[in-house]
Protein backbone atom coordinates (compact mmCIF):
# COMPACT_ATOMS: atom_id res chain seq x y z
CA UNK A 1 0.00 0.00 0.00
CA UNK A 2 1.49 3.29 -1.09
CA UNK A 3 1.34 6.51 0.89
CA UNK A 4 -1.69 7.98 -0.91
CA UNK A 5 -3.71 4.77 -0.49
CA UNK A 6 -2.86 4.74 3.20
CA UNK A 7 -4.05 8.34 3.60
CA UNK A 8 -7.27 7.54 1.78
CA UNK A 9 -7.93 4.53 4.03
CA UNK A 10 -7.38 6.61 7.15
CA UNK A 11 -9.78 9.25 5.80
CA UNK A 12 -12.48 6.65 5.09
CA UNK A 13 -12.08 5.07 8.52
CA UNK A 14 -12.45 8.46 10.15
CA UNK A 15 -15.61 9.19 8.15
CA UNK A 16 -17.06 5.88 9.27
CA UNK A 17 -16.13 6.68 12.87
CA UNK A 18 -17.92 10.06 12.70
CA UNK A 19 -20.96 8.43 11.09
CA UNK A 20 -21.17 5.96 13.97
CA UNK A 21 -20.99 8.84 16.44
CA UNK A 22 -23.76 10.71 14.62
CA UNK A 23 -25.94 7.59 14.79
CA UNK A 24 -25.75 7.75 18.59
CA UNK A 25 -27.24 11.26 18.72
CA UNK A 26 -30.78 11.14 20.11
CA UNK A 27 -33.31 13.71 21.35
CA UNK A 28 -33.25 14.23 25.11
CA UNK A 29 -36.78 12.77 25.46
CA UNK A 30 -35.19 9.36 24.95
CA UNK A 31 -33.34 9.85 28.24
CA UNK A 32 -36.47 10.70 30.24
CA UNK A 33 -37.15 7.24 31.70
CA UNK A 34 -33.51 6.73 32.64
CA UNK A 35 -33.40 10.14 34.33
CA UNK A 36 -36.56 9.41 36.36
CA UNK A 37 -35.12 6.05 37.38
CA UNK A 38 -31.95 7.75 38.61
CA UNK A 39 -33.99 10.29 40.59
CA UNK A 40 -36.05 7.59 42.27
CA UNK A 41 -33.08 5.37 43.00
CA UNK A 42 -32.10 5.28 46.67
CA UNK A 43 -28.36 5.83 46.70
CA UNK A 44 -26.28 5.26 49.79
CA UNK A 45 -24.94 8.51 51.20
CA UNK A 46 -21.16 8.50 51.45
CA UNK A 47 -20.16 10.67 54.38
CA UNK A 48 -16.74 12.27 54.76
CA UNK A 49 -16.98 11.76 58.52
CA UNK A 50 -16.99 15.53 59.05
CA UNK A 51 -20.51 17.06 59.38
CA UNK A 52 -19.45 20.52 58.21
CA UNK A 53 -17.78 19.10 55.12
CA UNK A 54 -20.80 16.90 54.39
CA UNK A 55 -22.99 20.01 54.48
CA UNK A 56 -20.65 21.82 52.10
CA UNK A 57 -20.84 18.81 49.77
CA UNK A 58 -24.66 18.65 50.01
CA UNK A 59 -24.68 15.41 51.96
CA UNK A 60 -21.26 13.92 51.26
CA UNK A 61 -19.25 12.50 48.39
CA UNK A 62 -20.91 12.00 44.99
CA UNK A 63 -19.85 10.69 41.59
CA UNK A 64 -17.50 13.59 40.97
CA UNK A 65 -13.79 14.35 40.69
CA UNK A 66 -12.51 16.19 43.77
CA UNK A 67 -9.10 17.88 43.49
CA UNK A 68 -7.40 19.39 46.53
CA UNK A 69 -4.48 21.78 46.05
CA UNK A 70 -1.97 22.14 48.85
CA UNK A 71 1.62 22.97 49.68
CA UNK A 72 3.92 20.13 50.63
CA UNK A 73 4.13 18.80 54.21
CA UNK A 74 0.96 20.49 55.42
CA UNK A 75 -1.16 17.40 56.23
CA UNK A 76 -2.95 16.83 52.93
CA UNK A 77 -2.11 13.11 52.68
CA UNK A 78 -3.03 12.59 56.34
CA UNK A 79 -6.42 14.17 55.63
CA UNK A 80 -7.04 11.97 52.59
CA UNK A 81 -6.12 8.95 54.71
CA UNK A 82 -8.68 10.06 57.31
CA UNK A 83 -11.43 10.40 54.68
CA UNK A 84 -10.54 6.95 53.34
CA UNK A 85 -10.62 5.39 56.81
CA UNK A 86 -13.95 7.06 57.61
CA UNK A 87 -15.51 5.67 54.42
CA UNK A 88 -14.11 2.19 55.03
CA UNK A 89 -15.38 2.18 58.61
CA UNK A 90 -18.84 3.08 57.27
CA UNK A 91 -18.79 -0.07 55.11
CA UNK A 92 -17.77 1.55 51.80
CA UNK A 93 -15.15 -0.15 49.64
CA UNK A 94 -12.16 2.18 49.34
CA UNK A 95 -9.38 1.93 46.76
CA UNK A 96 -6.48 4.13 47.88
CA UNK A 97 -3.70 4.52 45.33
CA UNK A 98 -0.77 5.46 47.53
CA UNK A 99 1.86 6.54 45.01
CA UNK A 100 4.17 8.08 47.60
CA UNK A 101 3.65 6.24 50.89
CA UNK A 102 4.03 2.54 51.62
CA UNK A 103 1.43 0.34 53.33
CA UNK A 104 3.38 0.10 56.60
CA UNK A 105 3.54 3.87 57.03
CA UNK A 106 -0.12 4.19 56.08
CA UNK A 107 -1.11 1.61 58.70
CA UNK A 108 1.22 3.04 61.37
CA UNK A 109 -0.35 6.47 60.95
CA UNK A 110 -3.80 4.95 61.35
CA UNK A 111 -2.76 3.15 64.53
CA UNK A 112 -1.29 6.41 65.85
CA UNK A 113 -4.61 8.15 65.16
CA UNK A 114 -6.47 5.50 67.15
CA UNK A 115 -4.05 5.92 70.07
CA UNK A 116 -4.90 9.63 70.18
CA UNK A 117 -8.63 8.90 70.03
CA UNK A 118 -8.24 6.70 73.12
CA UNK A 119 -6.17 9.39 74.82
CA UNK A 120 -8.87 12.01 74.27
CA UNK A 121 -11.50 9.66 75.65
CA UNK A 122 -9.69 8.40 78.75
CA UNK A 123 -6.98 11.06 79.22
CA UNK A 124 -4.53 8.31 80.18
CA UNK A 125 -4.24 6.18 77.04
CA UNK A 126 -0.78 5.38 75.70
CA UNK A 127 0.11 7.75 72.86
CA UNK A 128 1.99 6.31 69.88
CA UNK A 129 3.31 8.19 66.86
CA UNK A 130 3.94 6.52 63.52
CA UNK A 131 7.64 7.04 64.22
CA UNK A 132 7.32 5.19 67.52
CA UNK A 133 5.87 2.22 65.66
CA UNK A 134 8.19 2.15 62.65
CA UNK A 135 11.53 3.48 63.90
CA UNK A 136 14.22 2.79 66.46
CA UNK A 137 14.59 4.95 69.55
CA UNK A 138 17.77 5.65 71.49
CA UNK A 139 17.43 4.51 75.10
CA UNK A 140 19.81 6.57 77.23
CA UNK A 141 19.50 4.15 80.15
CA UNK A 142 20.51 1.16 78.03
CA UNK A 143 22.84 3.26 75.88
CA UNK A 144 21.53 1.62 72.70
CA UNK A 145 18.80 1.79 70.08
CA UNK A 146 15.61 -0.15 70.82
CA UNK A 147 12.24 -0.85 69.21
CA UNK A 148 9.03 -0.34 71.14
CA UNK A 149 7.50 -3.80 71.75
CA UNK A 150 4.46 -4.57 69.60
CA UNK A 151 2.58 -5.57 72.74
CA UNK A 152 2.49 -1.92 73.85
CA UNK A 153 0.29 -0.90 70.94
CA UNK A 154 -1.19 -4.26 69.95
CA UNK A 155 -4.71 -3.29 71.03
CA UNK A 156 -4.58 -0.22 68.78
CA UNK A 157 -3.31 -2.34 65.90
CA UNK A 158 -6.09 -4.88 66.36
CA UNK A 159 -8.65 -2.08 66.45
CA UNK A 160 -7.24 -0.60 63.25
CA UNK A 161 -7.69 -3.82 61.30
CA UNK A 162 -11.09 -4.45 62.85
CA UNK A 163 -12.37 -1.01 61.85
CA UNK A 164 -10.85 -0.70 58.39
CA UNK A 165 -9.34 -4.04 57.41
CA UNK A 166 -12.09 -5.51 55.22
CA UNK A 167 -12.99 -2.38 53.24
CA UNK A 168 -9.76 -0.41 52.88
CA UNK A 169 -7.54 -1.42 49.96
CA UNK A 170 -4.15 0.28 49.63
CA UNK A 171 -2.47 0.01 46.21
CA UNK A 172 1.17 1.09 46.11
CA UNK A 173 2.76 2.66 43.05
CA UNK A 174 5.68 0.23 43.03
CA UNK A 175 8.90 0.60 41.07
CA UNK A 176 7.21 0.92 37.68
CA UNK A 177 4.51 3.32 38.83
CA UNK A 178 0.84 3.40 37.84
CA UNK A 179 -0.73 5.23 34.90
CA UNK A 180 -4.16 6.86 34.89
CA UNK A 181 -5.32 4.14 32.49
CA UNK A 182 -4.09 1.49 34.95
CA UNK A 183 -6.12 3.13 37.71
CA UNK A 184 -9.25 3.36 35.55
CA UNK A 185 -9.04 -0.26 34.42
CA UNK A 186 -8.33 -1.63 37.90
CA UNK A 187 -11.15 0.36 39.47
CA UNK A 188 -13.64 -0.53 36.72
CA UNK A 189 -13.03 -4.25 37.15
CA UNK A 190 -13.15 -3.97 40.94
CA UNK A 191 -16.48 -2.10 40.84
CA UNK A 192 -17.91 -4.65 38.43
CA UNK A 193 -17.36 -7.36 41.06
CA UNK A 194 -18.42 -5.14 43.96
CA UNK A 195 -21.93 -5.18 45.37
CA UNK A 196 -21.89 -1.61 46.63
CA UNK A 197 -20.42 1.84 46.21
CA UNK A 198 -16.69 2.40 45.74
CA UNK A 199 -14.61 5.47 46.59
CA UNK A 200 -11.23 6.10 44.94
CA UNK A 201 -8.36 8.13 46.37
CA UNK A 202 -5.22 9.02 44.39
CA UNK A 203 -2.29 10.37 46.40
CA UNK A 204 -1.22 12.23 44.45
CA UNK A 205 -1.97 13.53 40.93
CA UNK A 206 1.53 14.49 39.79
CA UNK A 207 2.91 11.04 40.71
CA UNK A 208 0.69 9.24 38.20
CA UNK A 209 3.07 7.80 35.60
CA UNK A 210 2.88 8.87 31.97
CA UNK A 211 1.92 6.30 29.33
CA UNK A 212 5.15 4.99 27.81
CA UNK A 213 3.60 4.76 24.34
CA UNK A 214 2.27 8.33 24.37
CA UNK A 215 5.10 10.73 23.56
CA UNK A 216 2.91 13.77 24.19
CA UNK A 217 2.84 12.91 27.90
CA UNK A 218 6.55 13.69 28.15
CA UNK A 219 5.30 17.20 28.90
CA UNK A 220 4.24 17.45 32.56
CA UNK A 221 1.11 19.53 31.94
CA UNK A 222 -0.08 17.26 29.14
CA UNK A 223 0.42 14.21 31.35
CA UNK A 224 -1.58 15.89 34.12
CA UNK A 225 -4.36 16.80 31.67
CA UNK A 226 -4.60 13.17 30.51
CA UNK A 227 -4.65 11.93 34.10
CA UNK A 228 -7.34 14.40 35.19
CA UNK A 229 -9.54 13.64 32.16
CA UNK A 230 -9.24 9.91 32.81
CA UNK A 231 -10.12 10.28 36.49
CA UNK A 232 -13.04 12.55 35.56
CA UNK A 233 -14.43 9.90 33.20
CA UNK A 234 -13.96 7.27 35.91
CA UNK A 235 -16.02 9.37 38.34
CA UNK A 236 -18.85 10.37 36.01
CA UNK A 237 -19.16 7.45 33.58
CA UNK A 238 -18.30 4.47 35.77
CA UNK A 239 -19.90 6.22 38.75
CA UNK A 240 -17.94 6.83 41.94
CA UNK A 241 -16.30 9.65 43.91
CA UNK A 242 -12.65 10.14 42.96
CA UNK A 243 -10.54 12.28 45.30
CA UNK A 244 -7.00 13.35 44.52
CA UNK A 245 -4.36 15.85 45.61
CA UNK A 246 -2.59 18.27 43.32
CA UNK A 247 0.68 19.92 44.21
CA UNK A 248 1.14 23.60 43.43
CA UNK A 249 4.12 25.46 42.04
CA UNK A 250 6.33 27.67 44.16
CA UNK A 251 4.66 30.67 42.53
CA UNK A 252 1.50 29.91 44.51
CA UNK A 253 3.29 29.65 47.86
CA UNK A 254 3.05 32.45 50.42
CA UNK A 255 -0.62 33.14 50.04
CA UNK A 256 -4.06 31.63 50.44
CA UNK A 257 -4.68 29.02 47.76
CA UNK A 258 -7.15 30.15 45.14
CA UNK A 259 -8.47 28.63 41.93
CA UNK A 260 -5.55 30.21 40.06
CA UNK A 261 -3.23 27.64 41.71
CA UNK A 262 -4.87 24.98 39.55
CA UNK A 263 -3.99 26.76 36.31
CA UNK A 264 -0.36 25.74 36.69
CA UNK A 265 -1.26 22.03 36.64
CA UNK A 266 -2.83 21.73 33.22
CA UNK A 267 -6.62 21.93 32.88
CA UNK A 268 -7.44 20.78 36.41
CA UNK A 269 -9.34 24.02 37.06
CA UNK A 270 -11.86 23.17 34.35
CA UNK A 271 -12.00 19.38 34.58
CA UNK A 272 -12.35 18.97 38.33
CA UNK A 273 -15.96 19.05 39.55
CA UNK A 274 -14.97 20.16 43.05
CA UNK A 275 -11.81 22.16 43.73
CA UNK A 276 -10.50 22.52 47.27
CA UNK A 277 -7.81 24.75 48.72
CA UNK A 278 -5.87 23.43 51.72
CA UNK A 279 -4.40 26.18 53.91
CA UNK A 280 -2.37 26.00 57.11
CA UNK A 281 -3.75 29.12 58.76
CA UNK A 282 -1.08 31.62 59.70
CA UNK A 283 1.63 29.75 57.79
CA UNK A 284 0.92 28.83 54.16
CA UNK A 285 -1.66 31.59 53.69
CA UNK A 286 0.62 34.40 54.85
CA UNK A 287 3.64 36.31 53.58
CA UNK A 288 5.36 37.60 56.71
CA UNK A 289 8.11 35.11 57.62
CA UNK A 290 8.33 36.22 61.24
CA UNK A 291 4.59 35.71 61.74
CA UNK A 292 4.82 32.30 60.08
CA UNK A 293 7.56 31.16 62.44
CA UNK A 294 5.57 32.52 65.38
CA UNK A 295 2.52 30.49 64.37
CA UNK A 296 4.63 27.35 63.87
CA UNK A 297 5.94 27.73 67.41
CA UNK A 298 2.40 28.12 68.72
CA UNK A 299 1.38 24.98 66.82
CA UNK A 300 4.23 23.07 68.42
CA UNK A 301 3.19 24.17 71.91
CA UNK A 302 -0.51 23.51 71.62
CA UNK A 303 -0.09 20.34 69.54
CA UNK A 304 -2.32 21.17 66.58
CA UNK A 305 -2.37 23.23 63.42
CA UNK A 306 -5.29 25.36 62.29
CA UNK A 307 -6.39 24.25 58.84
CA UNK A 308 -8.85 25.99 56.54
CA UNK A 309 -10.32 23.79 53.82
CA UNK A 310 -11.88 26.08 51.23
CA UNK A 311 -14.39 24.98 48.59
CA UNK A 312 -13.24 27.00 45.58
CA UNK A 313 -15.49 25.33 43.01
CA UNK A 314 -18.44 23.00 43.33
CA UNK A 315 -20.20 22.35 40.06
CA UNK A 316 -23.56 21.34 41.55
CA UNK A 317 -23.56 22.89 45.02
CA UNK A 318 -22.31 25.86 47.02
CA UNK A 319 -18.81 27.25 46.71
CA UNK A 320 -16.70 29.78 48.64
CA UNK A 321 -17.30 27.85 51.85
CA UNK A 322 -14.56 27.25 54.43
CA UNK A 323 -14.35 24.36 56.88
CA UNK A 324 -12.13 24.78 59.94
CA UNK A 325 -10.09 21.81 61.11
CA UNK A 326 -7.67 21.10 63.91
CA UNK A 327 -4.84 18.86 62.75
CA UNK A 328 -2.65 17.04 65.27
CA UNK A 329 0.33 16.09 63.02
CA UNK A 330 2.04 13.85 65.56
CA UNK A 331 -0.96 11.50 65.45
CA UNK A 332 -2.51 12.14 62.01
CA UNK A 333 -5.68 13.18 63.82
CA UNK A 334 -8.26 15.70 62.61
CA UNK A 335 -11.31 17.22 64.18
CA UNK A 336 -13.72 19.80 62.86
CA UNK A 337 -13.62 23.16 64.63
CA UNK A 338 -14.57 26.61 63.43
CA UNK A 339 -13.51 28.39 66.60
CA UNK A 340 -9.90 27.29 67.07
CA UNK A 341 -9.97 28.58 70.65
CA UNK A 342 -6.75 27.15 72.11
CA UNK A 343 -7.63 28.16 75.69
CA UNK A 344 -10.25 25.41 75.68
CA UNK A 345 -7.76 22.82 74.48
CA UNK A 346 -6.90 21.18 77.78
CA UNK A 347 -7.02 17.67 76.36
CA UNK A 348 -3.97 17.98 74.16
CA UNK A 349 -0.91 16.13 75.47
CA UNK A 350 1.34 19.02 74.48
CA UNK A 351 -0.10 22.26 75.70
CA UNK A 352 -0.21 23.75 79.15
CA UNK A 353 -2.26 26.81 79.97
CA UNK A 354 0.72 29.17 80.11
CA UNK A 355 1.90 28.20 76.61
CA UNK A 356 -1.62 28.54 75.22
CA UNK A 357 -2.18 32.00 76.70
CA UNK A 358 1.25 33.08 75.40
CA UNK A 359 0.31 32.00 71.88
CA UNK A 360 -2.95 33.89 72.08
CA UNK A 361 -1.14 37.09 73.14
CA UNK A 362 1.34 36.76 70.27
CA UNK A 363 -1.48 36.48 67.75
CA UNK A 364 -2.96 39.72 69.05
pLDDT in tens, 77-111: 999 999 999 999 999 999 999 999 999 999 999 99
Inter-residue contact 323 to 308 (CB < 8 Å): yes
| Any domain includes 209 | yes
* Regions in the chain scoring below 70 on pLDDT: 1, 215-218, 250-252, 263-266, 338-364
| Any domain includes 333 | yes
- Whether residue 253 is preceded by a cis peptide bond, meaning omega within 30 degrees of 0, is no
The pLDDT value recorded for residue 167 is 97
Number of domains in the chain: 1
Q: What is the pLDDT of residues 212-262, one digit of tens each?
A: 777 666 677 888 889 999 999 999 999 999 999 998 876 667 778 888 787
CATH of the domain at 270: 3.40.50.300
| Any domain includes 162 | yes
Measured distance CA(100)–CA(203) in Å, rounded? 7
| Any domain includes 150 | no
| Any domain includes 230 | yes
Helix (H, G, I), strand (E, B) or coil at 8: helix
| Any domain includes 90 | yes
The pLDDT value recorded for residue 345 is 44
Range of the domain at 71: 51-125+155-289+306-339
| Any domain includes 226 | yes
| Any domain includes 14 | no
CA torsion sign for 42, 46, 49, 52 is negative
Residues 6+ apart with CB under 8 A from 48: 54, 57, 60, 61, 83, 86, 87
The pLDDT value recorded for residue 319 is 82
The pLDDT value recorded for residue 62 is 93
* Burial degree of 96 (CB within 10 A; 0-12, 13-18, 19+): buried
Amino acid sequence: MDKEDYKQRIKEEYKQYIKELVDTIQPIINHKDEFIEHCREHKERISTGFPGLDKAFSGGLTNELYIMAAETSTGKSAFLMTLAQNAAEAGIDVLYFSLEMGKDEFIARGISKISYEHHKESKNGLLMTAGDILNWKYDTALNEFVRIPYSQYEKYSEEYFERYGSRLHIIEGGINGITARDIANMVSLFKKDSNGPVVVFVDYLQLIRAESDDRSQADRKTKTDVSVTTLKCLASQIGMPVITISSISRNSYNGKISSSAFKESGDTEYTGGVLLGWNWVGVTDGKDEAEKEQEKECCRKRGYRKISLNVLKNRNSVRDVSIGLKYYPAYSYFEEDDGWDPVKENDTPFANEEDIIECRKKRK
